[in-house]
Structure 1
Amino acid sequence: MPTLAAELRVSLSRASRRLKAERGDADLPDPQFNVLAFLHRDGPMTPGQLAEAEHVQPPSMTRTVNCLVELGFVRKDEHPTDGRLVVVSLTDAGRAEVLETRRRRDAWLTSRLTAMTPDERDRLADAIELLRRIATS
């Protein structure tokens, strides 16, 4: 079992790194893209909520958000009920960057899947639920 665990870990890490190499035109670092992806999926959030979601310290998230503001991918607005806070939202440019990055990643993966046999693709499809269970445990 330890050998299977080690081989699976290495394979998943390599596949993840390779997939993440497919990026949109802005070529954002992973932490910045992750913020855009969270906002795209979950909607506007405070920097504190983003820091918690990304498991980073608030000052680090503030720097990331400010960089994304400068790039035009997010905007900061006043919090509707707490004047001490801001709410971070995607701009149209940020939404486009998320969609383009996802399109490129899907295209790269589709090209790899197309090169496989139908049986290999079926085996991968069967493994999806197992990998999902591992990821959420």
Structure 2
Amino acid sequence: MTSPDDSLQLTATELRMATFRLARRLRCARAADSMSDAQLAVLADLRMNGRRTISTLAERERVTAPSMTNTINGLEEQGYVTRAVDEDDRRRVQVEITDAGAELVVETIRRRDVLLADMLADLDFTEDELTTLREASVLMRRVTDR
């Protein structure tokens, strides 16, 4: 008989393996081949949440502030972000996505959604199976949004 701890461990292992392989396949689809995953993550965060400080971005991405500064420098050089002085605290700098950066995120998302939809279509899932996948995605978001 399987204990609850064993079942939890098996579930964690299966989810990790499946999400890792899926993420690796989806990462191949991006609007700019030279863009790193870290840079795309920052642009996606800025597009979804608006301007942020470098320290807030670093905290969200779980990297150091100097590492995030390097990422932001690269994005700024490519024209995907701009820096602006904070209106409330002139010592603080806010990072904001440009129209070009937002377009890159939108196109990358579109390409990844098309790729995943094609992968799902190739497997000819039933409507019940697709419903199960949608329900599982809600549960997975609960795990990642903590």
Q: TM-score, normalised by structure 2?
A: 0.84
Q: Which runs of 5+ in 2 are unaligned?
A: 1-6
Q: 2:4: which partner in 1?
A: none
The 2-side partners of 1:36 and 1:95 are apart by 7
- In the TM superposition, what whole-angstrom CA distance separates every residue of 1:83-110 from its partner, at most 9, and x where no partner exists? 2221111111101000000000101011
Q: 2:130: which partner in 1?
A: 121
Change in Cα spacing, 1:136 to 1:48, as seen in structure 2 (3 Å) is closer
Q: TM-score, normalised by structure 1?
A: 0.89
Q: Which runs of 5+ in 1 are unaligned?
A: none
Q: 1:112: which partner in 2?
A: 119
Q: 1:15: which partner in 2?
A: 22
> Is 2:80 the counterpart of 1:95?
no
Question: Within 5 Å, which residues of 2 pair with 1:1-137?
Answer: 1=7, 2-115=9-122, 116-118=124-126, 119-136=128-145
Contact 1:39 1:45 in 2 (8 A): yes
Deviation at 1:114, TM superposition (A): 1.8
Change in Cα spacing, 1:132 to 1:46, as seen in structure 2 (3 Å) is closer
C-alpha RMSD of matched pairs (Å) = 1.7
Change in Cα spacing, 1:114 to 1:93, as seen in structure 2 (3 Å) is same
Using the aligned pairs only, state the percent identity. Answer: 41
Matched length: 137
Contact 1:26 1:97 in 2 (8 A): no
- In the TM superposition, what whole-angstrom CA distance separates every residue of 1:102-123 from its partner, at most 9, and x where no partner exists? 0001010111122222243233
Deviates more, 1:24-33 or 1:125-134: 125-134
The 2-side partners of 1:125 and 1:103 are apart by 18
Deviation at 1:26, TM superposition (A): 4.8
Deviates more, 1:113-122 or 1:30-39: 113-122
- What secondary structure sits across from 2:84 in the alignment? strand
Deviation at 1:69, TM superposition (A): 0.4
